[in-house]
Amino acid sequence: MQPTFLHAQPPAIPKRGRLVVLSALAGFVLTVIWSAPFVDRVIGDTVANSMLGHDAKATPLDGVPAGIAFAFVTGLAGSFTACNIAVFGVVTPLVGDRGAARPRWLDSLRPLWWICVGAVGISAVYGALVAIVGTSMPQFATTASVAGVLSPRQVQSMIVFGLIGVAFVYLGLAALRLVPDPFARIRRRHPAVPLVVMGVLIGALLIGRPFPLFRIMFRHAAESGNVFYGMSAFVLQSLGNLVIAAVVFLVLAHGTGGRVQRWLAARPGRTERITAVAFLVFGTFTLLYWDLRSLGRAGLIWYPAVGW
């Protein structure tokens, strides 16, 4: 399957400008109303506790098998956290890639495979690095945050998620032909490369992830010094992050009788516009939430936020 979401006919320039502004505004509003306590604790902790059958935070990890199970479950539980929400930005372009045709299952699984290749690759490398030098990395720190001061752990999150947010914003602008397509040349010979890059961006979320359940796994892998365990745990965490987005994609592609594909193909450029909106909204959210709102939480700037 050759991704089409970055090389089709874009809408007129005024419409593209409005799409960019409205998408960025939607991403900003999402940062204002987002509640980390609700998502992390009410959703993330509840799902993890239910699947594991015990309190995920209070129960120590006993050995490698327990750590591996914990990694996948907490990856799945963290699907809707702020540090993973950008994953859902890839769903729309995948659904629309086949135009009006209802895809075969093999056609649907192929792009998911390439996304997993990218996510697994970066996750495995980072997992190995954590097992080797993890106890001295910023993410390993257990000290509480201090008002008015950015901890090394927070700085790492800001850098990583800021770069990922910029990448998604750029891809959204590229989908509208407002900036050069970064895959224009390589796609001709290697059409799966954009999907692999999407997977790399998804896997890279672990590099700065502050989700409490992830940090438990991080510290356990770092303290173990076991490279195979570190790689396995981080790979499973990434795959867990992808499960719900993959299910949403498969339901839209196969559970609607082709209606979604036909709707996307009914008007020229509709898939590209929706793809651009998805990338811009999630990219703006990731950039603003993890950079500006993080500075606001630290008391270094004022940033609007609704507490609930």
Q: What is the pLDDT of residue 252?
A: 81
Whether the per-residue pLDDT at 87 is higher than 70: the answer is yes
Look at residues 84, 93, 79, 86 and name the one whose alpha carbon lies nearest to residue 194. Answer: 93
Contacts of 160 (CB under 8 A, 6+ apart): 204, 205, 207, 208
Q: What is the pLDDT of residue 1?
A: 47
Tokens of 46: 């509840």
H helix runs in the chain, sequence order = 13-33, 36-37, 46-52, 64-77, 91-96, 105-133, 152-175, 186-189, 193-208, 212-224, 227-254, 259-265, 270-287, 293-297
Whether the per-residue pLDDT at 303 is higher than 90: the answer is yes
Higher-confidence residue of 219 and 267: namely 219
Q: Collapsing DSSP states into helix, strand and coil, what is residue 59? A: coil
Look at residues 32, 74, 36 and name the one whose alpha carbon lies nearest to residue 52. Answer: 74
Q: What mean pLDDT is reported for the chain? A: 87
Tokens of 261: 């594909």
Lowest mean pLDDT among 3-12, 18-27, 233-242: 3-12
Confidence of residue 295 (pLDDT cuts 50, 70, 90): very high
Q: What is the pLDDT of residue 118?
A: 95
Domain ranges of the chain: 16-84+113-242+277-298
Residue 211, burial from CB neighbour count under 10 angstroms (0-12, 13-18, 19+): buried
Per-residue pLDDT of 254-294, as tens digits, reads 887 778 777 877 787 788 888 899 999 999 999 999 999 99
Whether the per-residue pLDDT at 35 is higher than 70: the answer is yes
Confidence of residue 9 (pLDDT cuts 50, 70, 90): low
Look at residues 99, 98, 102 and name the one whose alpha carbon lies nearest to residue 111. Answer: 98
Q: What is the pLDDT of residue 67?
A: 93
Higher-confidence residue of 149 and 227: namely 227
